[in-house]
């Protein structure tokens, strides 16, 4: 619970390319706070100048965040509201911000999200791969051996995988993904989202790897890689085993609640358990 007289910490999402994506609410917050904690004051200074915002800036990046977090919390306790921004997108999502948010929460500061652009979510929305469940992995290790080790750990993951990758490593990343997941696994590469040269490449990992080797534009700009989940892990569950869990639950509970509990017990997806529960209910002549 927030303490009266303290400032608020606003976690503000900023454009990932197109400046028009700065929301009216985000602009109002940036204008009204007493201080903006920014990953790069020069970068954020250009954004503020574009919108004629004159709020003072303080740097808060991966190398000084732990030290600066205590300074910002002190300002907040003194009644000064602070906005946290990263260079682009939503703070603390593969960007600085977590240490400050954690310190502010521990101090009882009121923390407010001002949502907006996020490269991972934007790429998922246009990647044409399943979005009902996904696993955000951010940047994998730069060293090839460590990167491949992590990819092998993810090979059986059924959820869609979302990675951030640098332009000069995307070709190697696609090659490693093909080696660990299989060359025919579906994927998409979203490049320069919301910017002038935005492009989305879709196909198998093998096809995208070949494209990366031939197209010089493929490895330019900010990149999000989306990879389909393991088809083996996504296979339909054992219906007989699921039915044994569902039938008694359906006798006692509403359909949606029974399906949700069955999914947890049988370790299957919620939508798989719901579809099976619906089939059993109709089979028995009950109402949906």
The CATH number of whichever domain residue 183 belongs to comes to 3.30.950.10
Enclosing domain of residue 269: 239-283
Cα separation, 278 vs 77, in Å, equals 53
Number of domains, the chain: 3
Question: What local confidence, expressed as pLDDT, does residue 284 receive?
Answer: 76
In the DSSP assignment, the letter for residue 179 is H
Helices 270-283 and 239-252, packing angle to 10 deg: 70
**Closest to 89 measured CA to CA, from 64, 62, 125, 119:** 119
**Closest to 6 measured CA to CA, from 82, 116, 66:** 82
Question: What local confidence, expressed as pLDDT, does residue 279 receive?
Answer: 87
- What is the total residue count of the chain? 288
Question: What local confidence, expressed as pLDDT, does residue 112 receive?
Answer: 98
Q: What is the pTM of this model?
A: 0.79
Angle 194-197-201 (CA atoms, 0-180°, nearest 5)? Answer: 90
Element (H, E) at 136: strand 134-139
Alpha carbon distances (Å) from 31 to 11, 71, 89: 14, 21, 18
Query: What's the longest Cα–Cα distance across the chain?
Result: 67
CATH number of the domain residue 59 falls in: 3.40.1010.10
In the DSSP assignment, the letter for residue 12 is E
Cα separation, 83 vs 275, in Å, equals 45
Question: What local confidence, expressed as pLDDT, does residue 2 receive?
Answer: 59
Secondary structure class of 233 (helix, strand, coil):
coil
Does a structural domain hold residue 234?
A: no
* pLDDT beneath 70: ranges in the chain: 1-2, 232-238, 286-288
Q: Are residues 46 and 136 in the same domain?
A: no
Question: What local confidence, expressed as pLDDT, does residue 282 receive?
Answer: 84
Q: Are residues 132 and 153 in the same domain?
A: yes
Cα separation, 9 vs 110, in Å, equals 6
Helices 98-106 and 65-77, packing angle to 10 deg: 40
Question: What local confidence, expressed as pLDDT, does residue 107 receive?
Answer: 96
Q: Are residues 98 and 36 in the same domain?
A: yes
Does a structural domain hold residue 1?
A: no
Cα separation, 120 vs 99, in Å, equals 21
Q: Are residues 24 and 54 in the same domain?
A: yes
Question: What local confidence, expressed as pLDDT, does residue 160 receive?
Answer: 97
């Amino acid at each position: 619970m927030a303490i009266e007289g303290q400032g608020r910490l606003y976690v503000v999402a900023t454009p990932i390319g197109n400046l028009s994506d700065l929301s009216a609410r985000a602009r109002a917050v940036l204008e009204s706070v007493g201080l903006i904690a920014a990953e790069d004051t020069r970068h954020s200074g250009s954004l503020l100048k574009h919108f004629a915002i004159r709020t003072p800036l303080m740097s808060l990046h991966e190398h000084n965040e732990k030290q600066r977090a205590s300074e910002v919390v002190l300002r907040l306790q003194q009644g000064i509201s602070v906005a946290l921004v990263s260079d682009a997108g939503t703070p603390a999502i593969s960007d600085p911000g977590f240490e400050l948010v954690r310190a502010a929460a521990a101090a009882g500061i009121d923390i407010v999200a001002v949502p907006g652009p996020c490269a991972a979510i934007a790429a998922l929305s246009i990647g044409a791969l399943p979005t009902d469940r996904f696993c955000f992995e951010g940047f994998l290790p730069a060293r090839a051996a460590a990167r491949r080790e992590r990819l092998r750990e993810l090979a059986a993951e059924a959820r869609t995988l979302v990675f951030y990758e640098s332009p000069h490593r995307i070709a190697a990343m696609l090659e490693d993904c093909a080696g660990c997941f299989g060359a025919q696994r579906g994927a998409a590469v979203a490049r320069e989202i919301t910017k002038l040269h935005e492009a989305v490449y879709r196909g198998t990992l093998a096809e995208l790897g070949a494209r990366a080797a031939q197209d010089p534009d493929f490895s330019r700009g900010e990149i999000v890689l989306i990879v389909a989940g393991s088809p083996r892990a996504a296979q339909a569950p054992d219906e007989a085993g699921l039915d044994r869990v569902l039938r008694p639950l359906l006798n006692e509970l509403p359909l949606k609640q029974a399906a949700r509990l069955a999914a947890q017990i049988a370790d299957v997806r919620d939508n798989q358990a719901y579809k099976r529960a619906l089939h059993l209910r109709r089979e028995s002549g009950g109402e949906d």
